Structure 1
Amino acid sequence: MMEGSHASGAAGDSLWQACIEQLAQELPEQQFNTWIKPLVAQVSPDFSKVTVYVANRFKLDWIRAQYAGRITQMLESLYGQAIVLELAITPREAVARVTPLQLAREMAAQAEPAAELAEENGAGPHKSRLNPALTFASLVEGTANRMARAAAMHVAGSPGQLYNPLFIYGGVGLGKTHLMHAVGNRLLEERPGAKVLYIHAEQFVSDVVKSYQRKTFDAFKERYHSLDLLLIDDVQFFANKDRTQEEFFNAFEALLAKKSHIVMTSDTYPKGLPDIHERLVSRFDSGLTVAIEPPELEMRVAILINKAQSEGTEMPEEVAFFVAKNVRSNVRELEGALRKILAYSRFNQKEISIQLAREALRDLLSIQNRQISVENIQKTVADYYKIKVADMYSKKRPASIARPRQIAMYLAKELTQKSLPEIGELFGGRDHTTVLHAVRKIGGERQQLAELNQQLHVLEQTLKG
């Protein structure tokens, strides 16, 4: 048997560990820690079956209903062949009945995992909850994150002064959380006694609810209002939670009054946040707002090579370029692709090459090739901006048509392997210089215009399914 990353055989260990790591990237942290992390697995010698042992019947039924299908898919994708997943109750607990109290606890863990985990981790007033591995040194810099990184470093060096609050926004897996942890870790290096707290917005919501239920608001205020640095992730989760927004506004005001610093992340810019009170949005927007973009090609290559080295493997540059060209959306997907390649290489005892990468990532590549075509981009953009698909190829030039057309050209260059001349041909036989102009124009404006940037994020996520 193996628990987490410990297995009877090195290859079985690698397979289960790769699967666990991939699930950790896909699932919310609270779900992963509650349901997946405790699982114990045994891989058969021929890799035809993986038996997962679960503590009790309630957990077994829940894992089967919610996660078994995805675990099987992932194991098969990593190994490259069919694998049977078997769920079983851990032998020493097989005859034990689940008491009503145990059942209630299990259901509470599902209903309020964030609160339970905070208590397990001892997230008290002086616990920072920082990940020490997430530093400025371990973050690959590129044009996609340069401004956000520079602002974060300034905050870490001079908290409570400029850029307060610092609001960082962007899509999933682009490194927003990494930057926040880096700020906290750098500040604690320089001021070990500083009160720093990293927290997800869901946990703040949970803390507010519990404080009302238990009438412990003095302790709540002592915890949050006395901080030197508050790092709060995914503030879009405050939407429609009036009481939480009220308490966060109070904490916000108290921290700014004592020159403490606040760093926040979100999936969109402040004015694009739905169902957040206007006075809170104006506070979010009162410091510095910076975006993190999907990483450009050279940055993606550097991330892959660096990450492979940290895993003790050399990735040939041409393989890194192949992967980087095909995995474009975010750092998390890049790291997931790398894990698949490393696991596939170990299982098959083959050197890392473009051909091996193509085999390891065949599912991902087939999805991309099927979904993201220039024609699909044209249709999606036309639908979004409420114009006709035929307008993409026409010679019409009013702004209401020319602008979406340029956006479609930009996305075609970003999301497909087509050359500029090929894209031009698919847009009514236009010259490649017209496409190049559109790509540069939209790419440049994306850095300046928050609204355009958000529209492009929406279109990209729609196209990637």
Structure 2
Amino acid sequence: MPKSHRSLELFPEWLSSARQKSKSTDKGATPEELWQRFIQLIRDNVPPQAFKTWFEPLRFLRWENNTLTVQVPSQFFCEWLEEHYYGLLQRALVQVFGAKARLEYSVMLEQGEDVHQRTVRLPALRTPPIQQSLPLQNLSPHIPISPVNPRYTFERFICGVSNRLAYTAATAVAEQPGQTRFNPLLIYGGIGLGKTHLVQAIHNYLLRRRLPLRLIYVSSEYFTTGYITALQYNRAHEFTTFYTNADVLIVDDVQFLSGKEKTQQHFFHIFNTLHQAGKQLVFTSDKPPGELTELDERLVSRFQWGLVAEIQPPEYELRLEILRRKSADEGLELPEEVLHYIAQHVSSSIRELEGCLIHLLAKATIDRCEITIELAQEALVSLGRRHETAASSTPSSPHALTAPHILQTVANYYGLDVSVLTGKSRKREATQARHIAMYLLRKHLHLPLKTIGGIFGGRDHTTVLHACESIQQELTTSAPIRQALTAIEQKLGGFSRL
């Protein structure tokens, strides 16, 4: 199959100069040595089980013409890596192979005894669709924006009772941006429930309609990075102009703006400018506006001007339909008993359902074995969930956990007594363990900050908040913290999110 190449700079020009120290590969290293550095960087930044499932099967093929070609077992490996590890792959590629490096997958297709090699470009490494949706001139191409997944469409979104309001509102906004009462539209809910899918579906729907609209989809982290870099390069006016010229602005995960006062002030100005001009605003968050601590009250108020729609964990019927649809997308018809088994044991998020299903498909592809309930049980154990019988009292999800269970598990992991964990010791290990315990109590039990503070000797709620936010931030920068949380959540019987 012929290859289609297009040159690409992975980072915008002025953002790249600020963030990338090295512009070229180490000329003294062989391609194989560079590959080992690349794969080690991946290993250091993902949980062990994720690395074993998704990265150990990768095989280095070649490095030539600034292109790294990697062999993968099947097409769905490409799609999974694209959807879940795009950012990590991009950063590792640039750090090891240089700023002009590109990544290609080579999928081995077997037909009888003949092996046919087909090269597939990583779709997420294409120029983001946002560039195509801004036909008007005088907008800088150097503002950092978030990639949009073309697979996230309304047609691929599976609707049920738990997400119907958010789905209906999103489709209404896509049909008439800026002309409904849903402005702004804020969709909130837990991790892996489909918030990003819905808001990117709005973007992709409008893109397909080819309307003369300027569309911007950006995560709050990208927005913050862009704002800080713009200040460093004295280009704040250009940054503001870029966003205030949008007809539809979609900002994902606005909770990450919490505590960033200057960024919030700038965001507030952009919000007002666009809303007064009748432009459509769409946001997502992991909690309702009223619970977004350390966020400017003026922003919280404005988020509530339109519609606030919650996405709840999927009900059983929706979980079953998701599994059927996803397996059909992969060209497989799983036995009904396997589908029901997974739907019964994985209930907290769509992402977990997909993760379990993909794990099954990966194992079946690599080991060439039939998908059975036994294989599904093995997948759940590998992903951190304990196999249960009907009579078992072992908690099957984080929601069945108790505070003492979490405290004891964290204490055991760090080799501490629970009294030390909840006490006043300021030793580094005790402090880190305490912060992780607070984070897990907040994440899995949804306890109020004041209640968590009481568990830890009457600490102030601001102390608990700081601890939780500290761990949340370290999850993006510290491999040891991620590894610790993964191990602890596995012991708790929860599902370690990849």
TM-score by length of 1: 0.59
Which of residues 150, 156, 164 is equivalent to 1:146? 164
- 2:193–2:312 contact (8 Å) kept in structure 1: yes
Which of residues 177, 198, 203 is equivalent to 2:196? 177
Deviation at 1:259, TM superposition (A): 0.6
Q: 1:304 to 1:351 in 2, by over 3 A?
A: same
Deviation at 1:184, TM superposition (A): 1.5
The CA distance in 2 between the partners of 1:222 and 1:376, in whole Å, is 45
TM alignment of 1:426-441, pairs within 5 A: none
- Alpha-carbon RMSD across the aligned residues, in angstroms, is 4.2
Q: Which runs of 5+ in 1 are unaligned?
A: 1-33, 35-51, 77-82, 94-102, 111-116, 385-410, 413-459
Confirm or deny that 1:159 pairs with 2:202: no
Q: Which amino acid aligns with 1:155?
A: V
Q: Which runs of 5+ in 2 are unaligned?
A: 1-19, 21-30, 66-91, 100-123, 135-144, 408-443, 446-488
Q: Secondary structure at the match of 2:309?
A: strand
What CA deviation, in whole Å up to 9, does each residue of 1:108-129 have, x standing for no partner? x99xxxxxx9997596595584
- 1:165–1:262 contact (8 Å) kept in structure 2: yes
The CA distance in 2 between the partners of 1:69 and 1:363, in whole Å, is 11
- 1:125–1:223 contact (8 Å) kept in structure 2: no
Deviation at 1:92, TM superposition (A): 8.3
- 2:193–2:351 contact (8 Å) kept in structure 1: yes
- 1:167–1:284 contact (8 Å) kept in structure 2: yes
The CA distance in 2 between the partners of 1:288 and 1:376, in whole Å, is 28
Which of residues 361, 372, 378 is equivalent to 2:395? 372
TM alignment of 1:208-287, pairs within 5 A: 208-287=227-306
What CA deviation, in whole Å up to 9, does each residue of 1:438-459 have, x standing for no partner? xxxxxxxxxxxxxxxxxxxxxx
Confirm or deny that 1:202 pairs with 2:218: no
Deviation at 1:214, TM superposition (A): 1.2
Confirm or deny that 1:55 pairs with 2:34: yes
- 2:185–2:282 contact (8 Å) kept in structure 1: yes
Confirm or deny that 1:106 pairs with 2:91: no
Deviation at 1:154, TM superposition (A): 1.0
Q: Which amino acid aligns with 1:106?
A: Q
Q: 1:464 to 1:175 in 2, by over 3 A?
A: same
Deviation at 1:286, TM superposition (A): 1.4
Deviation at 1:355, TM superposition (A): 2.8
Q: Which amino acid aligns with 1:185?
A: N
Q: 1:126 to 1:214 in 2, by over 3 A?
A: farther
Q: Secondary structure at the match of 1:133?
A: coil
Q: 1:284 to 1:53 in 2, by over 3 A?
A: farther
Q: Secondary structure at the match of 1:367?
A: coil
Confirm or deny that 1:292 pairs with 2:311: yes
Q: 1:54 to 1:312 in 2, by over 3 A?
A: farther
Q: 1:193 to 1:130 in 2, by over 3 A?
A: farther
Which of residues 344, 361, 382 is equivalent to 1:342? 361
Q: 1:218 to 1:71 in 2, by over 3 A?
A: same
Identity %: 34
Task: Provide the residue aligned with 2:377 in structure 1.
Answer: 358
Q: 1:379 to 1:106 in 2, by over 3 A?
A: closer
Task: Provide the residue aligned with 2:415 in structure 1.
Answer: none
The CA distance in 1 between the partners of 2:209 and 2:299, in whole Å, is 31
Q: 1:65 to 1:178 in 2, by over 3 A?
A: closer
The CA distance in 1 between the partners of 2:234 and 2:284, in whole Å, is 29
- 2:381–2:387 contact (8 Å) kept in structure 1: no
Task: Provide the residue aligned with 2:350 in structure 1.
Answer: 331
Q: Secondary structure at the match of 2:230?
A: helix
Q: 1:158 to 1:75 in 2, by over 3 A?
A: closer
The CA distance in 2 between the partners of 1:372 and 1:282, in whole Å, is 39
Which of residues 137, 144, 152 is equivalent to 1:134? 152
Q: Which amino acid aligns with 1:216?
A: R
Deviation at 1:170, TM superposition (A): 0.6
Q: 1:221 to 1:293 in 2, by over 3 A?
A: same
- 1:144–1:293 contact (8 Å) kept in structure 2: yes
- 2:397–2:494 contact (8 Å) kept in structure 1: no
Deviation at 1:360, TM superposition (A): 3.4
Deviation at 1:91, TM superposition (A): 8.4
Deviation at 1:197, TM superposition (A): 1.0
Task: Provide the residue aligned with 1:426 in structure 2.
Answer: none
Deviation at 1:374, TM superposition (A): 10
Q: Which amino acid aligns with 1:136?
A: F
- 1:371–1:464 contact (8 Å) kept in structure 2: no
Q: 1:379 to 1:217 in 2, by over 3 A?
A: closer
Deviation at 1:349, TM superposition (A): 3.1
Q: Which amino acid aligns with 1:144?
A: S
Task: Provide the residue aligned with 1:74 in structure 2.
Answer: 53
Task: Provide the residue aligned with 1:464 in structure 2.
Answer: 494
The CA distance in 2 between the partners of 1:296 and 1:215, in whole Å, is 50
Task: Provide the residue aligned with 1:24 in structure 2.
Answer: none
The CA distance in 1 between the partners of 2:60 and 2:363, in whole Å, is 27
Deviation at 1:132, TM superposition (A): 2.3
- 2:386–2:396 contact (8 Å) kept in structure 1: no
TM-score by length of 2: 0.55
After TM superposition, the structure 1 stretch with the greater mean CA deviation from structure 2, 262-271 or 352-361, is 352-361
Q: How many residues align?
A: 320
The CA distance in 1 between the partners of 2:232 and 2:397, in whole Å, is 54
The CA distance in 1 between the partners of 2:318 and 2:398, in whole Å, is 28
Q: 1:125 to 1:282 in 2, by over 3 A?
A: farther
What CA deviation, in whole Å up to 9, does each residue of 1:146-167 have, x standing for no partner? 0100111111112113111000
What CA deviation, in whole Å up to 9, does each residue of 1:196-246 have, x standing for no partner? 111111010011111111111222122100111111100111111111101
Q: Secondary structure at the match of 1:134?
A: coil
Q: 1:195 to 1:277 in 2, by over 3 A?
A: same
The CA distance in 1 between the partners of 2:397 and 2:220, in whole Å, is 38
Q: 1:140 to 1:222 in 2, by over 3 A?
A: same
- 1:304–1:338 contact (8 Å) kept in structure 2: yes
The CA distance in 2 between the partners of 1:375 and 1:242, in whole Å, is 33
Q: Secondary structure at the match of 1:361?
A: helix
Task: Provide the residue aligned with 1:446 in structure 2.
Answer: none
What CA deviation, in whole Å up to 9, does each residue of 1:241-269 have, x standing for no partner? 11110111011001111111111001111
